[in-house]
Amino acid sequence: MCISRPVALDSVFQALDSNDVCWCLLRPEPSHEKGDDVDLLVAASDLRRVHQLLNAVGFARIPAWGHASHVFFVGYDAPSDRWVHLDIVSELAFGPSFTVKTAAAGHCLRRRERTEGAWTLHPDDGFWTLLLHNLLDKQALQAKHRDRLRSLAGSASTDNPLARELDGFAAPESRAARLLDCARAGDWQQLEVFAAGLVSTWIGRHRLKAASAFVEMRLARKMSHLFSPLLRHGFSVALIGLDTADKTTIATSLEASLPVPVRRTDLRVVGWIYQSAGRIVILDRFAVRPKPDLTLLFDSPPEPLHERRTEEARTRGLRRSAVVDASRDPNVVRRDVLALIWSAYCRDQRGSPAS
């Protein structure tokens, strides 16, 4: 387990637990400094509710088709200044185009265990899900998983549902018992040899199914690439109380930091076009109509009092606004701005097509 878990991820776990969602970590928690996805297994019956709960704690769904049951969310962890990526599945499927489907999800969730504030897989299930992920998905034994696999191998059994699924198509020399022996011995080279054979054996026995799934996945991903901007939720932010140079600095930092496309413009001209295409639009001029989704008033003490009051008066009656102390360290201001924008963006996603 990772001891440097982001606060945002703790919020996710607490929200799922307090709402009685059946979930667990699908793989060991990654080193969040590397930016790896956090993989969660969630009961299919809870999946729709999970989308709403994640929006409520500051995570937005990233629309993507062609990934089987996988759905993706991202949230901002202000204390560490990192984005947390969630990859959520409701079924366990492996291999090319996720065609090696299993019925083991319910079994794994029933046997989950509590470890350091999170639900984790039973060691037996953890071994087989991690091994099949490496062998069938990656076709390699990733170095970051080897120690974990060897540790879990001592608790693994060939009577596991995932092991039985494997034995249903594997050649005699690469069945579950042989793979388990290799993992216990740390024979990663032999396991990688078996990986290629397992995939080719599966495809050879299910040629039509594999070909159909491959074409369907490629088509879905191409469609996703074309239409995801329309599914993505657009959002507009007005920056008030900054000079042109400071607005440019803030807008540039947002473009580099936010995980969705950003465009700096004037809403009264073309901003609505970019917003309808799923972008976060940064307005560098104040526009009362149409009202922005979020207005940030940057309060700088040296600014003449009457000018600040004029800007404050103009923001009254807007949909949502917040005051940002611009006199602090620029990096602190940037984090506050990111957190405010992302929180409002996630709240606006509730009920949108992408959520």
Per-residue pLDDT tens over the stretch 2-49: 457 899 999 999 999 999 999 999 988 776 566 678 999 999 999 999
Across the range 211-227, mean pLDDT stands at 73
* Bridge partners (DSSP) listed for residue 263: 281
Residue 115 carries which DSSP code? E
SS3 category, 15: helix
- Least Cα distance to 264 among 286, 288, 284, 285 occurs for 284
- Mean of per-residue pLDDT scores for the chain: 84
What are the structure tokens assigned to 75, written together?
Answer: 């949230």
Q: CB-based contacts of 207: which residues, under 8 Å, 6+ apart?
A: none
Residue 79 carries which DSSP code? T
Per-residue pLDDT tens over the stretch 266-318: 655 767 777 777 788 888 766 555 678 899 988 865 555 445 444 554 555 55
42 burial type by CB count under 10 A (0-12 exposed, 13-18 middle, 19+ buried): buried
Residue 315 carries which DSSP code? H
Across the range 211-238, mean pLDDT stands at 74
**Domain ranges for the chain:** 7-224, 232-349
Q: What is the third-level CATH fold of 7-224?
A: Beta Polymerase; domain 2 (3.30.460)
CA angle 22, 26, 29 (to 5 degrees): 115
- Least Cα distance to 156 among 186, 176, 135, 175 occurs for 176
SS3 category, 87: strand
Per-residue pLDDT tens over the stretch 94-138: 988 888 889 999 999 999 999 988 999 999 999 999 999 999 999
Residue type, 200: S
The whole-number pLDDT of residue 355 equals 46
Across the range 217-227, mean pLDDT stands at 72
Terminal alpha carbon distance of the chain:
30
The H or E element spanning position 58 is none
- How much is the pTM? 0.85
The whole-number pLDDT of residue 108 equals 97
The whole-number pLDDT of residue 313 equals 46
Cis preceding-peptide flag for 259 (omega within 30 of 0): no
**What percentage of the chain's residues is helix, strand, coil (to nearest 5)?**
50, 15, 30
Rounded to whole angstroms, the Cα distance separating 282 from 90 reads: 36
HEC per residue, 200-219:
HHHHHHCHHHHHHHHHHHHH
- Residue 72 half-sphere exposure, CB side, CA atoms within 13 Å? 16
Q: What is the third-level CATH fold of 232-349?
A: Rossmann fold (3.40.50)
pLDDT at 1 over 70: no
Q: Find out whether 259 and 62 touch, Cβ atoms under 8 Å.
A: yes
Q: What is the DSSP string of 235-286?
A: EEEEEES--HHHHHHHHHHHHHH-SS-EEEE-IIIIIHHHHHTTPEEEESS-
The whole-number pLDDT of residue 99 equals 86
The H or E element spanning position 222 is helix 207-231
Q: How far is C-alpha 15 from the geometric centre of its chain's CA atoms? A: 16
The whole-number pLDDT of residue 2 equals 45
Q: Which residue stretches of 83-187 are H helix?
A: 105-110, 123-132, 143-153, 161-167, 176-185
